[in-house]
Amino acid sequence: MNSLELVDSFSEFKELKSIDKQTMQHVLEDVFRAMLKKKFNTDEHIDVIVNIDKGDVQIFVNKEIVMDGEVEDEYTEIAYSDAIKIEPDFEVGEQVSEEFKFGDFGRRNILSLRQNLISRILELEKDHLYKLYKERIGEIITGEVYQVWKKEIMVLDDEGNELILPKSEQIPSDYFKKGESIRAVVAKVDMRNSSPVIILSRTAPEFLERLFELEVPEVFDGLITIKRIVREPGERAKVAVESYDDRIDPVGACVGMKGSRIHGIVRELRNENIDVINYTTNPQLFIQRALSPAKITSVEIFEEDKRAKVSLKPDQVSLAIGKGGNNIKLATKLTGYEIDVYRDGEVDVDDVDLEDFADEIDSWILDELKSVGCDTAKSVLEMSVSDLVSRTDLEEETIMEVHKILRAEFEN
């Protein structure tokens, strides 16, 4: 293999892998110098000239002219009689440059040179990929599903780079087939066994934020700011938005006419319910908005332990809590306050009316308990057996059985 073939092969590799010419030139020069240093024990007297555009590498060995018979190192010195054959005007002490031919390397060294080049190019490519995606963390990308496994999906980007979408970063109802187009956000870039591993996510709040930027021009332009996003992927999300322009309704702009803008985002997130609310620095108002669609009667804030006591009508309790507790859980994350929900009248939302136990506890026993002010399950459990014995006409055994039934309800 001559220099032209060697450089051409890697010039083509360079084009495929997007390595710039200057970097490629430095790599070639370093690899050649390493080989020459191994051969001559030094590279200080050697010039390596690489021309990527022409596909050419030239190596010149500089030798000092010494008197005939005084040559001690043929790689760094040349006899005067041999020097004047090259140029008659040469004198002792001057430098002579001789071109080093590739054939002088030997076939084994040429193959070693090629392997070193491949190794260096692959290292550069890994480094390039790592830096490229490290800068793209938080950006949305579109790729093609290449392979589907039980715990993850391999996705190829436009340049054929392999990206990973773990099961834990997929929306529970996500289902993809090989060849399908997929959108996700770059979550992180790890190095494993000296190779970059790009992790994608469809559950991260940043994914929802990027989708809003794509669908809502005002968000992309910065006229509307997304202050906070919390998600229960595939179930519900809450997005707090704010506009510094009084002429723009941030919620209306994000939802769009008849929901035209939000619908595209909801479809991408597998019908995830998205609540868009106006951000405010007023904690009472923010908590009230965060618990929508429930209508709040009153909010009491306890700043010292970041808690909020919320009172609402009985028919609003289930709306405030939401399916599986998602609504109140997300409202807590969004506002930063631990929210306790109470029915109007300070009845604990998790409490149960004693009448609901009519099938398990005799009505006369329920009436006896109500006569001493115990009309809910928790109000009975908060009193000891001995207290109830002393305040009612019920037997200790009966009260213990009532306690057992009521505790079982909360354990369930």
Q: What is the pLDDT of residues 222-263, one digit of tens each?
A: 999 999 999 999 999 999 999 988 899 999 999 999 899 999
Torsion of the alpha carbons at 9, 13, 19 and 23, rounded to the nearest 10: -20
Instruction: For 87-122, write each residue's pLDDT tens digit.
Output: 887 788 788 877 777 666 667 777 777 777 777 778
Task: Kindly give, in sequence order, each residue whose CB lies less than 8 Å from that of residue 49, ignoring residues fewer than 6 positions away.
Answer: 57, 58, 59, 60
Whole-number Å distance between alpha carbons of 249 and 259: 14
Mean pLDDT of 8-24: 59
Question: Looking at residue 1, what is its pLDDT?
Answer: 43
> How crowded is residue 40: how many other Cβ atoms within 10 Å of its Cβ?
16
Question: Looking at residue 369, what is its pLDDT?
Answer: 81
Range name among 21-25, 134-138, 397-401 with the lowest pLDDT average: 21-25
Whole-number Å distance between alpha carbons of 86 and 96: 9
How does residue 63 score in pLDDT terms, banded at 50, 70 and 90?
confident
- Measured CA to CA in angstroms, residue 174 lies from 143, 167, 234 at distances of 15, 9, 9
Higher pLDDT, 358 or 5: 358
CB-based contact 256:262 (threshold 8 Å): yes
Provide the token pair at 15.
Answer: 């084009």
Mean pLDDT of 5-15: 53
How does residue 76 score in pLDDT terms, banded at 50, 70 and 90?
confident
CB-based contact 30:46 (threshold 8 Å): no
Q: From the centroid of its chain, how far is CA 178? A: 22
How does residue 6 score in pLDDT terms, banded at 50, 70 and 90?
low
Provide the token pair at 72.
Answer: 């001690």
Residue 135 has pLDDT above 70, yes or no: yes
How does residue 406 score in pLDDT terms, banded at 50, 70 and 90?
confident
Torsion of the alpha carbons at 15, 17, 19 and 25, rounded to the nearest 10: -60
On average, the pLDDT of the chain sits at 84
Residue 266 has pLDDT above 70, yes or no: yes
Name the residue among 95, 96, 100, 98 with its Cα closest to residue 32: 100
How does residue 214 score in pLDDT terms, banded at 50, 70 and 90?
very high
Question: Looking at residue 371, what is its pLDDT?
Answer: 65
Residue 148 pairs in a beta bridge with: 153
Mean pLDDT of 150-158: 94
How does residue 18 score in pLDDT terms, banded at 50, 70 and 90?
low
Instruction: For 319-375, write each residue's pLDDT tens digit.
Output: 888 877 789 999 999 999 998 887 775 445 567 878 888 888 888 888 888 765 566
How does residue 147 score in pLDDT terms, banded at 50, 70 and 90?
very high
Whole-number Å distance between alpha carbons of 59 and 106: 15
Most confidently modeled range among 5-19, 67-81, 151-165, 342-356: 151-165
Question: Looking at residue 386, what is its pLDDT?
Answer: 83
Whole-number Å distance between alpha carbons of 208 and 229: 8
- Between strands 95-100 and 140-148, the pairing is unpaired
- Measured CA to CA in angstroms, residue 117 lies from 17, 27, 255, 409 at distances of 14, 8, 55, 72
Residue 411 has pLDDT above 90, yes or no: no
Whole-number Å distance between alpha carbons of 307 and 305: 6
Look up the pTM and report it: 0.66
Could you give the percent of the chain with pLDDT greater than 70?
88
Provide the token pair at 87.
Answer: 């140029």
Residue 312 pairs in a beta bridge with: 343
3-state SS record for 29-42: HHHHHHHHHHHHCC
Domains, in order of start, for the chain: 3-131 (3.30.1480), 139-203 (2.40.50.140), 206-348 (3.30.300.20), 354-411 (1.10.150)
